[in-house]
Amino acid sequence: MNNTDSPLLATYDLKKDYNSPAGRIGILKGVQLILKAGEMIFIVGRSGSGKSTLLHLLGGLDQPTAGKILFEGEDLTSMGEKALAKIRNRRFGFVFQLYHLLPELTLYENVLLPSMISGKPDEKWAKEILRRVKLLSRQDHYPSELSGGEQQRAAIARALVNRPSVVLCDEPTGNLDRETAESILSLIHDLNQREGQAFVIVTHDEGLAWRYSNVLRLVDGVLLREDRGQVPTVEQVQ
């Protein structure tokens, strides 16, 4: 069990440079982040500020140039690929803007897949999460038969099937209309409250992010906590 006071996921002075034809560019220049178990945080920032880069690093999908990423106190950056793959599969869930569902599998098969990869397929739980995201009646449908919002709900169900400790979402509402985007975030919030998974949500949509507070802004390669005094009220963003 996690000690609720110790961070689930933390970065220390995280840096990421990319080589470009124009030379080396620093994208992340010392990001400090602390995520506690069960916490839901939003990361906002302009296009190109490094939000996806940061999320990929947090999920062990890419290596930083410098700094540490501690998951339950273990440094992901010094772990072997096998150990890292195990953590990615069992402890992290991923949700991306373009859903990334496998087109040749039904919704049910898509949702079950990560648990099959981990060697612990849990058919009952896969159906239960499909029910929670209100897609149980569509379980035998293929992704192409679903709307964008439905596909995103299925992608969220898939991210939860292994009961991860943290779900990393990159623009989960980026392709959806306002109303659907609101319902997706409200679903995520509900899952966060009921299941206690931590969520890190990268979004362009600050109006939506502010409703749930805990907003961090990536500016010039560092992460700043927004002054709560400046947080607009729900009425102001509506």
Ligand X SMILES: Nc1ncnc2c1ncn2[C@@H]1O[C@H](COP(=O)(O)OP(=O)(O)OP(=O)(O)O)[C@@H](O)[C@H]1O
- Partner in contact with 27, chosen from ligand X, Mg ion, none, beta carbon below 5 to 8 Å by kind: ligand X
11/49 with CB nearer Mg ion: 49
What is the Cβ-side half-sphere exposure of residue 19, based on CA atoms within 13 angstroms? 0
Rounded CA separation 205/213 (Å)? 13
Applying CB under 6 A, the site for ligand X has a residue count of 12
Q: Is 52 in the site for Mg ion (CB under 5 A)?
A: yes
Question: Considering the complex, what minimum distance in angstroms separates the CB of residue 111 from ligand X?
Answer: 26
CA atoms within 13 A on the CB side of 203: 27
When asked if residue 49 is in the footprint of Mg ion (CB under 5 A), the reply is no
> Should residue 47 be labelled a site residue for ligand X when binding is judged by CB under 6 A?
yes
Stretch that binds Mg ion, among 44-52, 146-154, 188-196, 211-219 (CB under 5 A): 44-52
Among 3, 6, 18, 117, binds ligand X (CB under 6 A): 18
Q: Near ligand X by CB under 6 A, which window of 44-52, 101-109, 135-143, 208-216?
A: 44-52
Buried b / exposed e along 224-234 (16+ C-beta atoms within 10 A): eebeeeeeeee
Question: Which residue from 8, 9, 37, 51 is in contact with ligand X, where contact means CB under 6 A?
Answer: 51
Is the dihedral angle over the CA atoms 74, 125, 201, 102 positive or is it negative? positive
Q: Minimum CB separation from ligand X for residue 28, in Å? A: 9
Exactly one of 11, 49, 151, 203 binds ligand X (CB under 6 A); which one?
49
DSSP element (H, E) containing 210 = helix 206-212
Q: Are residues 158 and 113 in contact, defined by beta-carbon separation less than 8 angstroms? A: yes
Nearer to ligand X, 141 or 204 (CB): 204
Report the side by side order of strands in the sheet with 66-71.
23-35, 9-20, 66-71, 74-75
53 in contact with ligand X (CB under 6 A): yes
CB nearer to ligand X: pick between 39 and 170: 170
Rounded to whole angstroms, how far apart are CA atoms 19 and 32? 23
8 A C-beta contact, residue 218 and residue 51? yes
103 C-beta neighbours (distance < 10 Å), count: 8
Q: Which does 132 bind (CB under 5 to 8 A by kind): ligand X, Mg ion, none?
A: none
What's the one-letter identity of residue 15? Answer: K
Size of the site for Mg ion (CB under 5 A): 1
Q: 97 to 116, contacts with ligand X by CB under 6 A? A: none
Least distance in angstroms from the C-beta of 155 to ligand X: 17
Binding site for ligand X (CB under 6 A): 18, 20, 27, 45, 47-53, 204
